[in-house]
Structure 1
Amino acid sequence: MHILLVASAFNSLTQRVHAELRDRGHTVAVELAPPGRSLARAVERHAPQLVLAPMLKTAIPREVWSARPCFVVHPGPVGDRGPSSLDWAVQEGVEHWGVTVLQAEEEMDAGAVWASVRCPLPPVSKSDLYRGEIADAALSAVLLAVDRFADGGHTPLRQDAGHTRPYLDQSVRRIDWAADSTETVVRKLRAADSQPGVLDVLLGDEWYLHGGHPEAGLHGAPGALLATQAGAVCRATKDGAVWIPELRRRRLRGQPPTFKQPAVTALGDRLPPLPELSSSPALAGKNWADIRYREEGNVGFLSFSFPGGAMSTTRCRRLLAAYREACARPTTVLVLGGQRDFFSNGIHLGVIEAAADPAAESWANINAIDDLVEAVLTTTDRLVVCAVGGNAAAGGVMLALAADEVWCRAGSVLNPHYRLMGLYGSEYWTYTLPRRVGPATAGRLMSEALPMSAASAASLGLVDRVVDCGPGDFAAEVGALAARLAALPGTPSRIAAKKESLDRQESTEPLATFRERELALMRRTFDDPDAPYHALRRAFVHKERPAGTPPHLTAGPGARGAAGPDPSGAGVTGTDVGGVTGTDLVRVSSPPDHW
C-alpha cells in the first residue's frame, strides 16, 4: 500500500512509523505540514491510498479527509480528547494510558476508532514515555489499523461523547515551592519535559525548567539552590529537593530565540557559590546521576543518560573517565548503555551554539567523542557490548558500532548518517560501518539519510541482537544476556582474538589513519563560516521550521531516498543538505518530541 505520512515534524514517532511500515513492504512518503502550507495540494500530488498522521498539531482540512481516508494517532485512550493528553496523564500520575488511531473528521479526536492499544505509564518523563511505552502502543495501533484498512472488512467503532481536556498551560504547570511536595514538583517537571518546560523565576530571571529528578538527601529553604552536579542544579522543595538538568531563558519580545542548556552553563555568573557533589559513577546509589557503574559477577554495567542524547565535550570526557575506571575492574564483559530512552545522538549542538567560538567547541566536542570511541575500539581484555535501549543517531550509532556486539531494543530507531547536518562525520565510522555492512551499503545508508528500525538494522548486520521487550524491561534482559555471554566457554578465546585482530589492523591501516582522514574533513567544515553545518546547527538549536518537506522524504512509491547511493561513503556536499537537521531529524522542525 502507498501511505503518506503527514506530520508537523519528522519526529521520533513519525520516524518509527516510517521505518516499520517500510519494513512491512509498504511504500511510504512524508509531507511536513507547517501552518500556512496547502496540505490538500501535497496530498493530491502523492495520491496515497491512505493518509496517516502520527504527530500532527493542526487539524487535517475537510478537503483532505473528505476525499481520502485519513487516520490520526492520538496519545490517549478512546474517549480522551484535547491537545495535552499525555501532559495531563503524567502530571496527574496516571499509571495506565493508551493510544488511539481514529479517522479524521470535523471534530478533533472524535472520529471513528480503527484501533486502540493500552500501555503502562511508569514514573518517568513525558518525552521518555513518548519514545517508549507510548511509541510501542502507537506502533501496535498503527499496524493494526493499517491491516484492518487493507483487509477492507473492518467496521470502525463510533465513539461516544468523549472528555475533552484544555491545553495544559503554565498556570497549571506552575510550581509552588513552599507548598508543593517533591513528588508533585517532579510530576510537574516530568509532564513538561522536553517541551514546553515549567516557567519559573530563578535568581531574578524567568526560566523554563526542563527535566526533574528527586533528591533523597538534601534539604533547604523551599526554592533555594542547594548544590550542583554534572551540570545540573539541585533546588529545595518543602520536603526534599529535585535535580534540574537544563534551563531555557524566557524569550523577550524582539530578542533572539532561546534554547535549552545545561543548568549550570545557562546560569553562568548568576550562580552563587554552591557545593559540587561527587558524580562518581560507582557511588551514585539511589540518588540521581547521569553516569552509573555497577557489577554483577563477571559483568560490569556502565550506564549513562544525557538529556536529548546529546554528548557535550564535558560529558564525553566524564564518560571516558568512567569507562577507563570500569576497564580497570576484573570483569569479562562490559556493557555500555543498557538503559531506557536515548542511547546517544552524538555531539551536543546546543552547547556548541552557545559557545563563544562554536567552531572551536565543535572541534573539541568531536575530538572528545572520538577519544571515547577509540577507547572502546582498543579495549582488548574483555568483550564490550553496547546496549541500545532507545533511539540513537549519527555519532551515537557509531559509538555503538565500536563495541564487539550491539544489542538493540526492538522499539529503537537508528539514524546512521550525518549528511543532513552538513557533516562528513567522524567517530571512526569509515572503519566501523563498512566493517559491519560493507562499503556499498555503508555508502547507501549515509546517502539515503533515513531512519531504520532495529529489525532492519539487524538484517543488515548493523545490530547483533534485537531484544523484544518493553522499555522498562530492557536493563534486566540485557543483564541476563550479559551474564550468559560472560559464562560461555568460547568467550575467553574471543577476548584473546581481539588483541590479535587489533594488531593486524594496526599493521595494515592503523585506526589513527581513519580518524585523521575524518577529522581533516570535519575541521574544514568547522572552520568555514559559510559551510552549511553552521546554518543547519542554528536552525536545529532554535527549532526553526523548514521551508518545505526535504526531498529525501517526499520521494514517490518505492523510492529509497532523494539522493542516489554513494558507494564511496563520501558524505555531504553543500548542495546535498535538504533543509532539516541530522542528528535526530526531528528537532529542527520545531515541535518537540511529544504530542
Structure 2
Amino acid sequence: MRILLVASAFNSLSQRVFAELRERGHSVKVQLGPGENELRAAVRKHAPDLLLAPMLKSVIPRDVWSARTALVVHPGPPGDRGPSALDWAIHEGADRWGVTVLQADEVMDGGPVWASAECPVPPVAKSDLYRNEVGDAALEAVLLAVERFTSGGYVPLPQSGPAWQAADHTRPYFDQTLRRIDWSADPTAAVLRSLRAAGSQPGVLDGLLGGEWYLHGGHPEDQLCGKPGELLATRAGAVCRATVDGAVWIPELRARRRPGGPPTFKLPAVLALGDRLPRLPEVPAPLSPAPGRRTWTDLDYREEGPVGFLRFSFPGGAMSTSHCRRLLDAYRFACTRPTSVLVLGGGRDFFSNGIHLNVIEAAADPGQESWENIQAMNDLVAALLTTTDRLVVAALGGNAAAGGAMLALAADEVWCRGGVLLNPHYRLMGLHGSEYWTYTLPRRVGEAAARRLTEQALPVTARAAQQLGLADRVIPSAPQDFGAEVGRLAALLARSARLQERIAAKKAVRERDEALRPLAAYRTAELTEMHRTFFDPDAPYHALRFAFVHKCPAPSPPLRTDPR
C-alpha cells in the first residue's frame, strides 16, 4: 500500500512508524513540516492510498482529508482531546494512558477512531515517556489501524452516538501559568511533577539569579537541603536547588528568548549560568551510590557476581567532551574489577547520539570544541575495542545515532530493546564520522551494507538491526523491564561454559586485525576528514549544526525514503 507519512518533524515516533511500515512491505513517502500547499502538492505527486500523521502540529486541510483517508495519531486515550495530552496526564498523576489513531475531520481530535492502545505511565519525563511507553502503544495502534484500513471492511467508531463509551474530555494548551513552581511552598514531589511534565520541551519558565530560564529535567535529592529556592551545589554540570522539604537536581537550562533576539537552546545548567553562578560546592556523586539513596547521577557502576553494570544517561543522548571523559574514567575503573562480563548502558532511554552539538554551538570556538569532543569520543570507543580480558555488552534500552551507534558497535555484543531505533550514519549533519566506524561497521555488516546504511541515512529498527548484524539480540520487553532482563541475560552469559573460549578468541581476533591494519590508522584517516570539516567555516556541518541546535530550517541533505 502507498502511504504518505505527514509529520511536523522526523522525530523518534515518525521514524519508528516509517521504518516499521516499510519493513512490512508498504511504500512509504515522507512529507515533513507541511504547509497546506506543500501537502496538497505531495498528495498529487505520490497519490497515496492513505495519509498517516504520527506527529503533526498543523491541521490537515479539508480538501485533503475529504478526498483521501487521513489518520492522525493522538497521544491520549479515546475521548481525550487537545494539544497537551501527555502534559495533563503527568500533571494529574495518571498511572495509565493511551494512544488513539483517529480519522481527520472537522473536529480536532474528534474524528472516527480506527485503533487505540493503552500504556502505563511511570514517573519519568514526558520526552522519555513519549519515546518509550507511548511510542510502543502508538506503534501498536498504528499497525492495527493500517491493517484495518488495508482490509477494506473495517468501519471506524464515531466519537459520538450510543456505541461511544468514552467521555469526551477536551483540555486546553498546558501553558506556563500551569507549570509555574512556587519554591516557597511546593514540596519536592510537586516540583518534580512539574519538571517531568515539561521535559524536554517546553521546560518550566522560572526566575533564577536575575534571569529568566526554562528548567529542563528534575531529579530528587535526599541529603542536601537549604532555604527553598536557593542553589545548593553543582554536580557534573547540573545544579541542585532547595525545595521546602528537600532538593532537586536540574541538569539543563535554556535562557528565555529576548524579543527579536536569536533562538535559545538547552545547555548544561552550570554552562548556561556562566558568570551568574555563585561559588557553590561541587558534590560528586559516588560511582556506586548506597542502596536506597535518592540522588541524581548520570552514570553509576554496580556488580552482580561476575557481571559489572556501567549505566550512563546523558540528557538527549548527547555526549560532551566532559561526558566522554567521565564515562571513560568510569569504564577504566570497571575494567579493574574482577568481572568477566561488563554491560555498558542498560537504562531505559537514549543510549547515545554522539557528540554534544549544543555545547559545541555555545563554545567560543565551535570548530575546536568539535575537535576535542570527537577526540574524547574516540578515546572512549578505543577503550572498548581494546578490552580483551572480558566480554563487553552494549545494552540499548533507547535509541542510538551517529557516534552513539558506533560506540555500541565497539562492544562484543549489542542488545536492543524491541522498540529501539538505530541511525548508524552521519550524513545528515554533513560529517564523514569517526569513532572507528570504518572498522566496526563493515566488520559487522559488510562493506556494501555499511555503504548503504551511511549513504541512505535512514532509521533501522531493532529487528532489522539484528537481521543486518548491527545487533546480536533483541529483547522484547517493556521499557521499565529492560534493565532487569539485561541483568538476567548477562548472568547467563557469564555462566556460559564457552565464556573463556570466547574471550580468548576475541583477543586473538583483535591481535590479527591490529596486524592487518592498526586501529590508529582507522582513527587517523577518519579524523583527517573530520578536522578538514570542523575547521572549514564554509563546510555544511556548521550551518546544519546551527539549524539543528536552533530548531530552524537549513540546507539539509534530502531525506531518502527509497531503498537504493
Same fold at TM > 0.5: yes
Residue of structure 2 in register with 1:357 after alignment: 365
Deviation for aligned residue 1:36: 6.4
Distance change (3 Å), C-alpha of 1:35 and 1:215: farther
SS of equivalent residue, structure 1 residue 191 = helix
SS of equivalent residue, structure 1 residue 281 = coil
Distance change (3 Å), C-alpha of 1:390 and 1:284: farther
User: Does 2:264 align with 1:270?
Assistant: no
SS of equivalent residue, structure 1 residue 68 = coil
Name the % identity. Answer: 69
Residue of structure 1 in register with 2:32 after alignment: 32
Residue of structure 1 in register with 2:118 after alignment: 118
User: Does 2:137 align with 1:137?
Assistant: yes
Q: Which moved more, 1:156-165 or 1:227-236?
A: 156-165
Residue of structure 2 in register with 1:481 after alignment: 489
Question: In 1, are the aligned partners of 2:285 and 2:296 still within 8 Å (CA)?
Answer: no
Q: Deviations over 1:448-505 (max 9, x none)?
A: 0000100011110110000001110000000000000000000011111222111111
Structure number with greater CO (CA < 8 Å, separation at least 6) is 1
Question: In 1, are the aligned partners of 2:241 and 2:247 still within 8 Å (CA)?
Answer: yes
Correspondent of 2:436 among 428, 443, 449: 428
Q: Deviations over 1:129-170 (max 9, x none)?
A: 000000000000000000011011111111136111000000
Q: How does 1:82-93 map to 2 (within 5 A)?
A: 82-93=82-93
Deviation for aligned residue 1:545: 3.4
TM-score (norm 1): 0.92
Query: Which residue identity is paired with 1:460?
Result: L
Deviation for aligned residue 1:418: 0.3
Deviation for aligned residue 1:551: 3.6
SS of equivalent residue, structure 1 residue 5 = strand
User: Does 2:11 align with 1:11?
Assistant: yes
Question: In 1, are the aligned partners of 2:115 and 2:144 still within 8 Å (CA)?
Answer: yes
Residue of structure 1 in register with 2:350 after alignment: 342
Correspondent of 1:391 among 368, 377, 399: 399
Deviation for aligned residue 1:93: 1.4
Query: Which residue identity is paired with 1:145?
Result: A
Provide the rounded CA distance (Å) in 2 between the counterparts of 1:149 and 1:115: 10
Deviation for aligned residue 1:253: 1.1
Residue of structure 2 in register with 1:305 after alignment: 313
Residue of structure 1 in register with 2:559 after alignment: 552
Provide the rounded CA distance (Å) in 2 between the counterparts of 1:69 and 1:214: 46
Residue of structure 1 in register with 2:99 after alignment: 99
User: Does 2:390 align with 1:368?
Assistant: no
Question: In 1, are the aligned partners of 2:263 and 2:550 still within 8 Å (CA)?
Answer: yes
Provide the rounded CA distance (Å) in 2 between the counterparts of 1:419 and 1:93: 41
Provide the rounded CA distance (Å) in 2 between the counterparts of 1:135 and 1:409: 13
Correspondent of 2:189 among 183, 194, 200: 183
Residue of structure 2 in register with 1:43 after alignment: 43
Question: In 1, are the aligned partners of 2:347 and 2:397 still within 8 Å (CA)?
Answer: yes
Provide the rounded CA distance (Å) in 2 between the counterparts of 1:34 and 1:111: 21
Deviation for aligned residue 1:39: 1.6
Residue of structure 2 in register with 1:534 after alignment: 542
Deviation for aligned residue 1:38: 3.2
User: Does 2:73 align with 1:73?
Assistant: yes
Residue of structure 1 in register with 2:234 after alignment: 228
User: Does 2:482 align with 1:468?
Assistant: no
Provide the rounded CA distance (Å) in 2 between the counterparts of 1:348 and 1:273: 26
Residue of structure 2 in register with 1:211 after alignment: 217
Q: Which moved more, 1:36-45 or 1:287-296?
A: 36-45
Q: Which moved more, 1:311-320 or 1:215-224?
A: 215-224
Q: Deviations over 1:14-55 (max 9, x none)?
A: 000001001111111100134565321222211100000000
Question: In 2, are the aligned partners of 1:34 and 1:545 still within 8 Å (CA)?
Answer: no
Provide the rounded CA distance (Å) in 2 between the counterparts of 1:36 and 1:72: 16
TM-score (norm 2): 0.97
Correspondent of 2:264 among 254, 258, 261: 258
Distance change (3 Å), C-alpha of 1:551 and 1:352: closer
Residue of structure 2 in register with 1:573 after alignment: none
Provide the rounded CA distance (Å) in 1 between the counterparts of 2:29 and 2:176: 36
Query: Which residue identity is paired with 2:486?
Result: V
User: Does 2:116 align with 1:108?
Assistant: no
Provide the rounded CA distance (Å) in 1 between the counterparts of 2:273 and 2:147: 51
SS of equivalent residue, structure 1 residue 159 = coil
Distance change (3 Å), C-alpha of 1:325 and 1:338: same
Residue of structure 2 in register with 1:150 after alignment: 150
Residue of structure 1 in register with 2:506 after alignment: 498
Deviation for aligned residue 1:104: 0.4
Write out the 4+ residue segments of structure 1 that deviate beyond 6 Å after TM superposition.
none
Provide the rounded CA distance (Å) in 1 between the counterparts of 2:30 and 2:463: 21
Query: Which residue identity is paired with 1:156?
Result: P
SS of equivalent residue, structure 2 residue 55 = coil
Distance change (3 Å), C-alpha of 1:476 and 1:312: same
- The total of aligned residue pairs comes to 556
Question: In 2, are the aligned partners of 1:218 and 1:226 still within 8 Å (CA)?
Answer: yes
